[in-house]
Structure 1
Amino acid sequence: MLKVVVGHSEDPESQDAIQEVLEQCSQDLAGVIPQAGILFAAIDFDHALILQEINQIFPEMDLIGCTTDGEISSVLGFQQDSLTLMLFCSDTVQISAGVGYKTKANPLASAHQAVQQATEKSTHAPKLCISIPASYLEDASTTDGELILQGLKLALGSQVPILGGTAGDQFRFKKTYQFFGKEVLTDSLPVLIFSGDIKFSYGVGCGWQPIGQQSIVTKAEGTVLYEVNGKSALEFYARYLGDRAPTAENPLAVYKENSHLYYMRVPNTYNVENGSINFLGNIPEQATIQITDISRDEVIMASEVSLKNALENYPGTEPEAVLLFSCCCRRWVLGTRAKEEYQLVKKLLSPEVPVCGFYTYGEFAPLEHQGSTYYHQETFVTLLLGTK
């Protein structure tokens, strides 16, 4: 059995918002005590107050969460400046939370700490991990999504899928918050680990289409791309964009080795003097890449592609909950059309299925069913959960 409920409020007052959310959840729980929860909140709320209110009602519940660049639920659809909470109850699925600290300085140790804390509470081997770590810290520096993912894979084993996304702060890029129990944190790695009788599937979609010839990264270091096919990164972009600067509208498709599958990398800043481009994620040397072009209709349709992919691979008869992780850059390029992502998803789901999600600063998901997890940008990720 898996019972999942969602509450969502757009009230700007923290006390009123969390009271509304808890009333919605309590009504749907009908006396059942939740085992775990996940909270997505806009940046300007009083997060400490919100966590205290949740703890007063559900003191034994494992809770994680983070701040966002937009919130999604089956209660209010796509919103900004809102608060949404998903609660999980089960007598056959074990769901436990853990958190790692000082994630930027030592992401591998932080991941190990989080996974160890969560798995110590469970009598079964982990089957699925949801992670929503820090992105921007107090000094506006950033964590490394690739290293966080590497740490989680080392701690969990390569066979356990990792889904989720990094915390947001409504496009301010200054400081994000993460939640663990009653703690409000800024440099942490919260995880929620599922084990036991859980069924799940996932799907990804982006909507950007590769154009031109596939090329080889001939010089790169971390997130900085220096050369493609022996020429500067800016020359590579100029071949397709002319005088236009590299932006989130034309990310790179980075291909999985010997595959047609790819993940996205978004250009952030560039250096005219040496022709390099800094991206919002690592780009491996010798990787095969292509520049991409945008059709907003296809970007929106990618949410449907993501959900259909997840539905096709769902191992049970029907999912009982849906989590969505979409990139803040998608929301930025879509503008007022961002709400259409969830509207497409909603059409393919039963109205009774609870949905919750947020707009992230980077997404975690496998590229294919039972494949290895990758760190993405500009991607729409769907996670289906159930026991049926």
Structure 2
Amino acid sequence: MTLDDACWFGTGHSTLTDPAAAGAQAAQAAIAGRAPVVVFVFCSVGHHVPEMLDAVRERVAADTVIVGCTTSGQIATDEESRDGVAITAWGGPGLAVRTHVTRDASTGLREAGAQAASCLAGLDSEHRALLMLCDGLTGSQHEIIRGAYSVAGAAVPLVGGCAGDHLTYVRTYQFHGGRDGVEILSDAVIGVGVGSDAPLGVGIAHGWRKDGAAMIVTSSREGRIYELDGRPALDVLLERLGLDESLVDDEEAFRDAAFLHPLGLSRRSGEDIRVIHAGDRSDRSLICLADVPQGALAWMMVSDQDALVEGSNEACVQALDGLGGREALGVLVFDCAARRITLGEGGLDREIAGMTKTLNGAPYGGFYTNGEIARTRGALGMHHFTMVTLALGRS
């Protein structure tokens, strides 16, 4: 097999302040003159302009698919950044992608997920996965996953992440197109059907552990928790954490405190994490971005830098284990923006170094998300404070 006949996986990264220059630098490193099947473009808000995407389009093949979104930070092999552009590209025989974009997703989230999953139709590769990139501000993100699962079924793993804007919760953007043009969208769900002749592996891990007694979610709706153990949820949180009521009025300070103690929901496969983003003094509720089912058993969760880094490594190990002994061609990474904040600068360096070591030289790229998507056996699909990985096996 010649080099031109081999499958490949490339990553590139740039923190240049000029978006066009950053896009060109990252694309050149990732593509390196090859003909990609798909190019993933992940960038901070401010770099999401047509000029950046034009620089990427100039370097792809006529039939290359370009997809991506804005982030709360970028990841590329050996690097991470708050502001910039990260690009991951795949190519070669045995790799195939099909896409579908659902616009105005918030008008019907479950239907949006089902429509996005229609990209799997006609994808007859031996190994398949449904990768999803969603607007991170639609609310009730779990409904998108339920819709996608209704089409994909149990045999096709779901992976992906929700677009970010550095946790400002103002607006996120999604990208879709090719060499002839790339749309910049909001309120969209992009489905990417991934097909490969070699195995695909998925990893899901977080590094959090239970703290204190269990609680029952006695009143909730979608992502808002009204009562825990029959008491106002905000009161329970403030008491458990020893926080003063005045902290609720300082959105950033409250978020920083709450991020250190997310909520863990009991699942057969372990605890599923829900980030507490805000408290509402008017009705004493807690606000999350994903569903917290009424009647669920829940705990406050704690972690430390060592455990969070180990969670990242575990997600990589799980993805590699799914390759059936084959080497990894490369790995896509979807890491929670709240984990990024909690890890801090030194922890981020440790996370990246650990992933590089665990993946044994395989390239990797991705972004920090407003929600992580992973559904395999035993997983419900929508996650927070979690790292999700998708490994492509080498043919």
Normalised by the length of structure 1, the TM-score is 0.89
**CA distance change for structure 1 residues 34 and 289 in 2, over 3 Å: closer, same or farther?**
same
Match of 1:24 among 17, 24, 29: 29
State the partner residue of 1:139. Answer: none
Q: Is the 8 A contact 1:223 1:281 kept in 2?
A: yes
Using the alignment, how far apart are the partners of 2:167 and 2:269 within structure 1? 32
Asked whether 1:254 is paired with 2:265, we answer: yes
1:20 CA displacement: 1.6
- Report sequence identity in percent: 25
State the partner residue of 1:234. Answer: 234
Alignment of 1:1-388 (within 5 A): 2-27=7-32, 32-58=34-60, 59-74=62-77, 77-116=79-118, 118-120=119-121, 122-124=123-125, 127-136=128-137, 142-181=138-177, 182-244=182-244, 247-256=258-267, 259=268, 261-337=270-346, 338-351=348-361, 353-366=362-375, 370-388=377-395
Q: Is the 8 A contact 2:176 2:184 kept in 1?
A: yes
Deviations 1:322-372 (A, max 9, x none): 111111111122222323211111112222x22101000110113xx6334
Using the alignment, how far apart are the partners of 2:196 and 2:25 within structure 1? 32
1:51 CA displacement: 2.3
Aligned to 2:22, the other structure's residue is in SS state helix
**CA distance change for structure 1 residues 119 and 374 in 2, over 3 Å: closer, same or farther?**
closer
Using the alignment, how far apart are the partners of 2:394 and 2:365 within structure 1? 18
Aligned to 1:64, the other structure's residue is in SS state strand
Using the alignment, how far apart are the partners of 1:254 and 1:67 within structure 2? 28
**CA distance change for structure 1 residues 307 and 298 in 2, over 3 Å: closer, same or farther?**
same
1:283 CA displacement: 0.5
Q: Is the 8 A contact 1:235 1:275 kept in 2?
A: yes
1:312 CA displacement: 3.1
Using the alignment, how far apart are the partners of 2:322 and 2:59 within structure 1? 36
Aligned to 2:258, the other structure's residue is in SS state coil
Using the alignment, how far apart are the partners of 2:27 and 2:284 within structure 1? 52
**CA distance change for structure 1 residues 201 and 125 in 2, over 3 Å: closer, same or farther?**
closer
1:120 CA displacement: 4.6
Q: Is the 8 A contact 2:275 2:384 kept in 1?
A: yes
Using the alignment, how far apart are the partners of 2:280 and 2:14 within structure 1? 43
Q: Is the 8 A contact 1:162 1:373 kept in 2?
A: no
Using the alignment, how far apart are the partners of 2:287 and 2:117 within structure 1? 31
1:112 CA displacement: 3.0
1:87 CA displacement: 1.2
**CA distance change for structure 1 residues 271 and 56 in 2, over 3 Å: closer, same or farther?**
closer
Aligned to 2:328, the other structure's residue is in SS state coil
Using the alignment, how far apart are the partners of 1:45 and 1:219 within structure 2? 41
Q: Is the 8 A contact 1:6 1:356 kept in 2?
A: yes
Aligned to 2:116, the other structure's residue is in SS state helix
Q: Which amino acid aligns with 1:162?
A: L
**CA distance change for structure 1 residues 269 and 51 in 2, over 3 Å: closer, same or farther?**
same
Normalised by the length of structure 2, the TM-score is 0.88
**CA distance change for structure 1 residues 328 and 238 in 2, over 3 Å: closer, same or farther?**
same
1:289 CA displacement: 0.7
